[in-house]
Structure 1
């Protein structure tokens, strides 16, 4: 528990024991804790050096703990100063990194992420988020993990996620269960028939963009930081978000009495999935899909599936908020501009 203040595990154990006991015989510490005599003595020396323990002159020698709120505050301030110094060093190194000459002419705009670093970079930039992450999600995927556990962690920490999924992303086996896991954790999700590009933007200040290049159509991941290109990508996401269809939407309950499973089916239908694709995602038969679509058409007095979509919007069967991405200028600068 106290290791983050610079204490070893043994020092943390000894100090907590002393705080609870008030004082203790130095020779008996290793009997009271699962520590050897050598490790106990080393821990005591470390605590004395850090100002957390005082050794008396009496015999047998007694160990008296310093008040945690006073001695601990001194250690905490020291660690904070160390972290501040380390952050300054990282900022200086980042400046050198982004100013370094590059052979692809992307100085001050972006850099290409090596293939072997893509998964790590994808995880790292999510962990730097303080407010919002927005994404275009489409296969084929470059990160093999089935579930983005980092997203679930960041959602729990209060970071907002907005994702626009490509229709093909919804046709994957198990896609509905996976996406529902994110939406139930707080992700706001929408779908387009086709997203213009695969990307993730963090706090409006940094992005990863997957682009296809060469005859092999190999995907290259580009790390983009502050500048006009990033601003354009933010604007692109917002336009797509406004026109995308909400996934797992909440209907207007004052105007609609559709069951949740009917809303889910309607959403997949309007996203462009085939009857077979809908059946696979909902784990029902294709004929069941066709029957339920016909029932929705009858309820909406629609003569075609196209008209069903129009009527669904008019009747309030599908709805979703039009949230905006966090403007980059409202956040502290995290990358040097070119």
Structure 2
């Protein structure tokens, strides 16, 4: 071995506590029994690990204390609504609420959760909540059933135990945590502007009633879209009702989460089934056949 190799080897042995300076001859190294040297090294590593664990526990306790103080401060505010400006503030608050959720997280998603950026932002908090046994229920637009990003997210959520259902129209974005806090958008047409956090019993009662009503009529994601006695899906019936109410293709598309071109194609199919030459005639014949009444009529 070269001198360099020998010095390198001696340095490694010293790091492993397998050699030590001789007590009798200066500048001389003395070998140490592996049972002694490595045991000392292991003891030092264990002490270091224990010290780090104590530091982690102290940090966890400090975080819990700060979180409790922060939550108490929010709960003692005179206002019953807290403004969250911008998407970052909303996502940050949703992360806090998900981290402290005890029983369930409910959401209405007329648009956003299917996008890759929003899906990535919600995946971690939803995954952690589900692993703690928190129930997650989400209602989405029926038009998202064929969206690849939505399908991927739905499968991921279902694998963890979450539930998703779809309806033709989701009226507004909404998140409810443990039925004690609700997050509603400042502008439903542009959720990126921010949201309001509300915890007043009256507002929560309305929000929970809206979610429960939509959930009870929604179709489970992954199943076939059901048809009624007239052979209509809920989306087709809703489109007929929107057309009968005078909505343009663009307006109906915004409500249904589809393009105006898709609305035009679907209307053409419905008109053919009704043997109608115009939308007006289709509306008259649909009403005559009972297509514009509720499915249970």
TM score, norm. by length of structure 2: 0.53
Q: What does residue 197 of structure 2 align with?
A: 223
Aligned with 2:209: secondary structure?
helix
In the alignment, what sits opposite 1:27? Answer: 11
Q: Deviations over 1:192-240 (max 9, x none)?
A: 5352x43212343443221359xxxx96511235x52564256324432
CA 1:115–1:272: 2 relative to 1, 3 Å: same
CA pair 202-83 structure 1, distance change in 2 beyond 3 A = farther
Distance change (3 Å), C-alpha of 1:124 and 1:153: closer
- Matched ranges for 1:102-181 at <5 A: 105-106=78-79, 109-115=80-86, 117-121=88-92, 124-125=95-96, 127-128=98-99, 129=101, 132-138=104-110, 146-157=117-128, 158=130, 160-165=135-140, 170=143, 176-181=147-152
Answer yes or no: is the 8 Å Cα contact 2:173–2:184 preserved in 1. Answer: yes
Q: Which moved more, 1:280-289 or 1:88-97?
A: 280-289
Q: Distance in 2 between matches of 1:78 and 1:272?
A: 61
Looking at structure 1, the residues matched to 85 and 263 of structure 2 have their Cα atoms a distance apart, in angstroms, of 42
Deviations 1:136-164 (A, max 9, x none): 2235x699865421333445553543223
Spell out, residue by residue over 1:230-261, the C-alpha distance to the aligned partner (whole angstroms, 9 max, x if none).
64256324432344321545359xxx9x9xxx
Does residue 78 in structure 1 map to residue 54 in structure 2?
yes
Instruction: Kindly provide the CA deviation profile for residues 46-70 of structure 1, in whole angstroms up to 9, marking residues without a partner as x.
Output: xxxxxxx878645368763326996
Aligned match of 1:91: 67
Q: Which runs of 5+ in 1 are unaligned?
A: 1-23, 30-40, 45-52, 296-301, 315-338
Measure the CA separation in 2 of the matches of 1:66 and 1:112: 53
1:66 maps to 2:33: no
The separation in 2 between residues aligned to 1:156 and 1:281, in whole angstroms, is 35
Tell me, yes or no, if structure 1 residue 268 matches structure 2 residue 232. Answer: no
- 1:211–1:219 CA contact under 8 A, matched in 2: yes
Which residue is equivalent to 1:290?
269
Tell me which structure has the larger Cα radius of gyration: 2
Query: How far apart are the structure 2 equivalents of 1:55 and 1:123?
Result: 53
Q: What does residue range 205-284 of structure 1 map to in structure 2 within 5 Å?
A: 205-212=180-187, 220-225=194-199, 228-229=201-202, 231-232=204-205, 235-246=208-219, 248=221, 250=223, 266=233, 268-270=235-237, 272=239
Q: What is the TM-score normalised by the length of structure 1?
A: 0.48
Q: 1:191 to 1:68 in 2, by over 3 A?
A: farther
Structure with greater helix percent: 2
Cα distance change of structure 1 residues 249 and 145 upon mapping to structure 2, 3 Å threshold: closer
Provide the C-alpha distance between the structure 2 equivalents of 1:152 and 1:238, rounded to a whole number of angstroms.
21
**SS of aligned partner of 1:111:** strand
3-state SS, counterpart of residue 184 of structure 1: helix
* Aligned position for 1:16: none
Distance 1:119 1:245 in 2: 26
Change (3 A) 1:123 1:95: closer
Alignment of 1:327-338 (within 5 A): none
The answer (yes or no) to whether the contact 1:209–1:221 under 8 Å persists in 2 is: yes
Number of equivalences: 237
- Provide structure 2 residue ranges, at least 5 long, that are not aligned to the other structure: 1-7, 22-28, 244-248, 275-285
